[in-house]
Structure 1
Amino acid sequence: MSVDSRTELVPLRTWFGLRWRGYDRDEVDDYVAELEAELRLVTADRDASEARAEALAARLVTVQEENAALQDGLHRICLTPIDLKGLPERLARMVALAEEERREVIRDAQLKALMIVGEAEQRARRLDEEAAEKRDGIREDFRLAMSARRAEAMRALAELRNVARDEADRIVTEAKIQSLHIE
């Protein structure tokens, strides 16, 4: 069975079997009638929204076509060179002023670009100098730390030599004493 959602609703079951302790038939009928009414409203709202969406989509296509035509016309006008001889004197003067202003804007932009490049180069040089100073500082710190470690190692070595010498002297002295006792 085919159902047209714009004209008919999905058929709802409006009858219920009676039971010994069943539901009140009038309440069930009223409830189903309310649901059908709400379903009709929702269906009508949906149909109206679909129609509105279709109308808006059609309007959007029309506006996009108009926009494309206007852009094409603007593009053609912008590409067409202006012949100053064919223009009235006032318009020719306006075009000349606009051309002069264009040259000034380009000149100003080039000057600003040169200034920015110069500033960037100065900053890069300054950063390079700072990096070199830090690198030299790190090298000097490393050299000092290595010198301190070397000096500490030399002190520890000298101390070990002294301890070893003292131990050797003690052993030699003990050996001499023992050799004297043995004789």
Structure 2
Amino acid sequence: MTVESRVDLVPLRTWFGLRWRGYDRDEVDDYVAELESELRLVTADRDASEARADALASRLMSVQEENDALRDGLHRICLTPIDPKGLPERLARMVALAEEERREVIRDAQLKALMIVGEAEARARALDEGAAAKREEVREDFRLAMSARRAEAMRALAELRNVALDEAERIIAEAKVRRAGIEQDT
């Protein structure tokens, strides 16, 4: 069972039935208050870890969008040709050389862009997988911590119950002895 909010965790039951010569109320109340405080800290840690994972996922999305925008801009710039018909012969030759150089630059830029995009996508996948793994690790750590604390609280409650039962049995035994003494006196 997963715990989704602070409301599911706290407040815990903070009262106990009173028994004649039972537990020390202040001690149990202090223990419960301390346990609730620890639960609040664990919940805050979990929420902070989830917020960090969400922030990383958001940053990953913005980097991917930025890469897409750069790729589109490069493609648009590369598709704008110069018309050599309206230029004198020397300028036409320079334009032809520039056009050839442009094609080489475009080819090199496209190869580099593909490599960069591939690397960015690989890093983005790694970040996404890392964020998912970290979220799952935080959830598992929280589940284990809560399980251990629950077991500890149950042991403490069982111990308090046993102490109260022992005290009740002792009081009943004393009462029976006194009743037997009173019955003998009469």
Q: With the length of structure 2 as denominator, give the TM-score of the two structures.
A: 0.49
Find the structure with the greater CA-based Rg. Answer: 1
